[in-house]
């Protein structure tokens, strides 16, 4: 199909022209408008009819009540006149007077019966078969004023009762029974309506107690209306007539089940409403037709112009000149301006093509190149990896992915600044690019992560290349006067392992890289199935640890801290254990690194704090006030800016003294997160909580940082002290460090003491506080406290067999004078 054909509709090619679209839109808009207008007018007319209907029926109800009041008022007026004329001395005379005058009253009013009431129980009536209602007599006697009551048995009557008082002060009542038929006839005499009094509690065939007439037509109305007796409003058809009706409550009725039923022939109003709806529909159809005709006439010229531009504008894309349409009309419209715009568009489009060609090269470079290192970026890596994997799979070749991450780069950024970190990344990138010339591609993924693609080499060759790369990068780098050594953690995976899936290959190499991190960094790891299993274990531990915290599977073991000079246990360090339901008791080394990298480490830290304070309270209550309880927390705990306040709040709420609770953090955490740790440690120490730096000598061993941090104790790492037994230089370093730390007034504790020889060397060289398996392994609370009690009873330290430990007899060497 060509544009010149321009059909209205081509369903095969799913084509509808703009003419048809606009016409349909116009018809739809006109239809919506006329429909809304029609519904609104129809609803308004129906509302008026409903209001008229309610008004008719409500007026008849009011008129009926007015008739009742007029009857009651007439009886009251006549009674008062007759009583004043009679001037009776007693109720007996009044009864005789009423008997004589009752026929005269019946000429004036529809009175059926008249009664003189001496008391509620004693009365005399002209018609004894219809005694006055007791409830009416009681109300009139109580309120002493005229009252009325509509009572229906087999027929309906209006009873009117009045209080009387004779000249001899004798009190009584008069009661008159009036026929209601005249009242109903007076209501219906003007309009074609039917009125009846019904009792809803009676059976259907007995429920009509009083009606205007009993003609066949009226009786049919009432028979149908009674079927709707449980509806206040009703509408039904009788002999092709539409009858509407409504029930009303009756004032002064003896029973709430008595209702006034009003029926009216509404057929004429229905006919008028139907005529109105037909006329309205015809008017709306005519209006809609006119709107469609006018719309088509108005759109004829714009549609013609749109068709011309639809056929002509594509020539601009084909680099052809544009010819404007002929202008024959007297007045131009907005569509004619499309010609001028189209000419400008053609010229602009030609210049745009030239600019796009020039800028495309720049954009492609920006999209695919890392601006800092000028290496291809993640986008380029993913693109090239996909292409390389497809070729390798087709040719049956192997591709290895080397995933590189710089060790401790975050620490470098935090301590030396991000500008220095950027300079370092540039130098490392240059070395990797230079050393990776044999690779098929070198990329920077972002941050401190780099990748290389090695084509068609075996596992040993790729590992050898990775190790040589790590060794070359590890040479000293000097930037801005700072010399440092950068190490790499490297992970390697092959395409066949990942079944030539790019995302899976990246995941495997990333897992291998993180395995290198866990092995202590500065090493290379090749992915294997065991790594995948370990990754599954990481996921499993992360999910199961939530249950461990909520189901009391965690426990704190106690390892004694010893004073060799005093020959006693001075405190305990709390060490975490996991009583796993299937794995048994798990040491922190089996799960803590995984937990620390996840979301549970902060709740775990606060759990340890609560347990530590609770244990210290328990020991103090048992009389062991001299013991110190030391607990460890993760460095991530300081990410919570409210950590210090929460710890101090829990400590202040406990009934323990100062300097018995000891917080331990590693010196690497203190140095790497220096700014966020410094202020919080100061608050913690001021609150009476001791602070100890753990694993001293294992990490940075930066005394310049530690001297500016609030601290009470330095814990020498096991290797830092143990190697002194066999190395004279190490001995000199350890002893020198002891003197330096003593000048800072820090307490020293040596960890990892496992032999008597080690303990004696430490004591001989001035070390007092120690901790290690030689003096006691981590144990459950009951076992650890039992060891403490047995040592106190013996007055000496005991080994695991309960024998006294005999240490070197020399006393502790005096500390160096800080002055």
Whole-number Å distance between alpha carbons of 94 and 83:
8
Which of 487, 465, 331, 480 lies closest to 400 in space, CA to CA? 465
673 pLDDT higher than 60? yes
Q: Phi, psi at residue 591, to the nearest 5°?
A: -145, -20
Q: Containing H/E element for 282? A: helix 267-312
Produce one character per residue of 340-363: b if its CB has 16 or more CB atoms within 10 Å, e if not: eebeeebeeeeeeeeeeeeeeeee
In this predicted structure, what is the pLDDT of residue 819?
Answer: 35
d(CA 608, CA 576): 8
Q: Tell me the pTM.
A: 0.43
* Nearest residue to 62 (alpha-carbon basis) of 250, 263, 257: 250
Average pLDDT over residues 296-325: 66
Q: Please check whether residue 370 is in contact with residue 361, taking contact to mean a CB–CB distance below 8 angstroms.
A: no
Quick one: pLDDT at residue 818? 37
Find all residues with CB under 8 Å of 333, minimum gap 6, and list them.
Answer: 301, 302
Mean pLDDT, to the nearest integer, of 202-221? 68
Per-position b or e across 77-105, b if 16+ CB within 10 A of its CB: ebbeebbeebebeebebbbebbeeeeeeb
Contact of 572 with 629, CB cutoff 8 Å? yes
* Residue 767 to residue 752: CA distance in whole angstroms: 14
Q: How many helical (H) and strand (E) elements, i.e. helices and strands, does the chain have?
A: 24, 28
Going through 734-787 in order, the beta strands assigned E by DSSP cover: 747-750, 769-770
- β-strand pairing of 258-265 with 193-199: antiparallel
What is the CA angle 78-79-80, rounded to 5? 95
* pLDDT of 449: 92
Residue pLDDT, tens place only, 375-394: 999 988 999 999 999 998 88
**Nearest Cα to 600, choosing from 647, 558, 548, 556?**
548
The string of DSSP codes covering 615-645 is HHHHHHHTT-TT-EEEEE--GGGGGSTTHHH
The per-residue pLDDT for range 263-275, each reduced to its tens digit, is: 888 888 888 888 8
Question: pLDDT, tens digit, for every residue of 35-49?
Answer: 888 788 778 877 887
Rounded CA separation 704/671 (Å): 10
More confident of the two residues 760 and 514: 760
pLDDT over threshold 60, residue 215: no
Handedness of CA 419, 424, 430, 436 (dihedral sign): negative
Question: For residue 178, what pLDDT is reported?
Answer: 84
The rounded distance, in Å, linking the Cα atoms of 623 and 223 is 99
Sign of the torsion angle spanned by Cα atoms 72, 75, 81, 86:
negative
pLDDT tens column, 111-130: 888 888 888 888 888 877 77
Residue 314 has pLDDT above 90, yes or no: no
Alpha-carbon dihedral 603, 607, 613, 614, rounded to 10 degrees: 150
Positive or negative: CA dihedral 363, 364, 370, 373: negative
Look at residue 149 and give its three-state secondary structure: strand
**Mean pLDDT over residues 391-420, rounded?**
87
Q: Indicate if the pLDDT at residue 701 is higher than 60.
A: no
How wide is the angle at C-alpha 498 spanned by C-alphas 493 and 502, nearest 5°?
90
Under the banding of pLDDT at 50, 70 and 90, the label for residue 340 is low
For residue 82, the model assigns a pLDDT of 53
State the alpha helices, DSSP H only, in 479-554: 502-518, 529-550
Higher pLDDT, 706 or 239: 239
Q: What is the pLDDT of residue 443?
A: 92
pLDDT digits (tens, 9 = 90+) for 441-465: 899 988 899 999 988 888 888 888 8
- The whole-chain average pLDDT of the chain stands at 80
Distances (CA, A) of 723 to 697, 701, 717, 729: 12, 16, 11, 10
| CB half-sphere exposure, 162, CA atoms < 13 A | 18
How many residues does the structure list for the chain?
819
Phi first, then psi, for residue 734 (nearest 5°) are: -65, -45
């Amino acid at each position: 199909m060509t544009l010149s054909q321009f059909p209205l509709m081509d369903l095969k090619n799913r084509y509808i022209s703009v003419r048809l679209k606009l016409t349909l839109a116009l018809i739809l808009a006109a239809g919506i408008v006329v429909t809304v207008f029609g519904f609104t007018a129809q609803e308004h007319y129906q509302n008026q009819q409903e209001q008229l209907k309610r008004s008719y029926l409500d007026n008849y109800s009011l008129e009926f009540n007015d008739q009742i009041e007029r009857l009651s008022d007439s009886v009251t007026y006549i009674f008062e006149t007759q009583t004043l004329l009679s001037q009776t001395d007693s109720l007996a005379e009044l009864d005789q007077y009423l008997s004589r005058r009752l026929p005269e009253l019946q000429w004036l009013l529809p009175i059926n019966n008249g009664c003189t009431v001496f008391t509620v129980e004693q009365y005399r009536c002209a018609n004894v078969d219809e005694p006055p209602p007791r409830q009416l007599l009681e109300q009139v006697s109580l309120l002493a004023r005229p009252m009325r009551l509509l009572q229906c048995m087999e027929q309906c009557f209006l009873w009117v009762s009045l209080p009387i008082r004779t000249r001899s002060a004798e009190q009584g009542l008069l009661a008159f029974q009036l026929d209601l038929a005249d009242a109903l006839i007076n209501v219906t005499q003007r309009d074609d309506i039917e009125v009846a009094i019904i009792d809803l509690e009676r059976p259907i065939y007995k429920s009509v107690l009083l009606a205007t007439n009993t003609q066949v037509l009226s009786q049919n109305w009432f028979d149908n209306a009674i079927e709707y007796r449980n509806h206040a409003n009703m509408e039904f058809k009788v002999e092709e007539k539409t009858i509407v009706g409504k029930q009303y409550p009756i004032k002064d009725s003896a029973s709430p089940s008595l209702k006034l039923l009003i029926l009216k022939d509404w057929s004429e109003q229905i006919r008028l409403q139907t005529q109105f709806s037909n006329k309205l529909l015809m008017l709306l159809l005519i209006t809609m037709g006119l709107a469609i005709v006018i719309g088509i006439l108005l759109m004829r010229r714009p549609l013609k112009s749109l068709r011309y531009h639809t056929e002509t504008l594509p020539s601009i894309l084909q680099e052809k000149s544009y010819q404007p349409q002929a202008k024959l009309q007297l007045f131009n419209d907005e569509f004619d301006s499309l010609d001028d715009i189209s000419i400008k568009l053609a010229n602009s489009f030609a210049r745009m093509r030239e600019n796009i060609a020039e800028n495309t090269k720049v954009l492609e470079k920006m999209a695919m190149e890392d601006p800092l290192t000028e290496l291809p970026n993640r986008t380029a890596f993913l693109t090239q990896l996909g292409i390389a994997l497809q070729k390798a799979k087709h040719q049956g070749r192997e591709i290895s992915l080397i995933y590189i991450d710089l060790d401790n780069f975050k620490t470098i950024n935090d301590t030396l600044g991000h500008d220095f970190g950027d300079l370092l990344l540039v130098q490392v990138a240059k070395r990797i690019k230079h050393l990776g010339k044999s690779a098929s591609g070198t990329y920077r993924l972002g941050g401190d992560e780099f990748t290389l693609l090695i084509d068609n080499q075996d596992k040993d060759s790729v590992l050898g290349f990775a190790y040589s790369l790590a060794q070359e990068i590890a040479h000293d780098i000097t930037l801005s006067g700072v010399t440092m050594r950068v190490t790499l953690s490297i992970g390697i995976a092959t395409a066949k392992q990942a079944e030539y899936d790019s995302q899976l290959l990246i995941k495997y190499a990333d897992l291998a890289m993180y395995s290198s991190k866990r092995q202590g960094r500065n090493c290379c790891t090749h992915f294997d199935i065991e790594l995948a299993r370990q990754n599954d274990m990481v996921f499993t531990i992360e999910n199961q640890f939530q249950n461990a915290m909520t189901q009391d599977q965690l426990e704190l073991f106690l390892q004694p801290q010893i004073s060799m000079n005093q020959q006693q246990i001075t405190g305990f360090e709390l060490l975490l254990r996991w009583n796993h339901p299937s794995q048994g008791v798990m040491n922190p080394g089996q799960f803590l690194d995984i937990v620390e990298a996840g979301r549970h480490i902060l709740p775990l830290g606060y759990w340890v704090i609560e347990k530590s304070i609770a244990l210290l309270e328990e020991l103090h209550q048992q009389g062991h006030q001299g013991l110190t309880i030391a607990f460890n927390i993760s460095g991530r705990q300081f990410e919570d800016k409210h950590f210090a306040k929460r710890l101090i709040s829990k400590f202040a709420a406990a009934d323990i003294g100062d300097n018995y609770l000891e917080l331990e953090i590693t010196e690497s955490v203190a140095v790497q997160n220096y700014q966020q740790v410094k202020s919080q440690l100061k608050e913690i120490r001021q609150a009476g909580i001791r602070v100890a730096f753990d694993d001293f000598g294992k990490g940075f061993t930066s005394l310049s940082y530690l001297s500016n941090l609030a601290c009470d104790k330095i814990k020498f790492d096991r290797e830092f002290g143990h190697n002194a037994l066999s190395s004279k230089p190490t001995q000199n370093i350890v002893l020198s460090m002891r003197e330096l730390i003593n000048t800072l007034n820090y307490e020293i504790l040596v960890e990892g003491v496992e032999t008597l020889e080690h303990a004696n060397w430490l004591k001989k060289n001035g070390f007092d506080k120690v901790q290690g398996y030689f003096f006691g392994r981590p144990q459950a609370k009951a076992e650890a406290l039992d060891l403490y009690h047995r040592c106190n009873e013996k007055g000496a330290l005991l080994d695991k067999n309960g024998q006294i430990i005999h240490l070197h007899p020399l006393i502790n060497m005096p500390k160096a004078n800080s002055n």
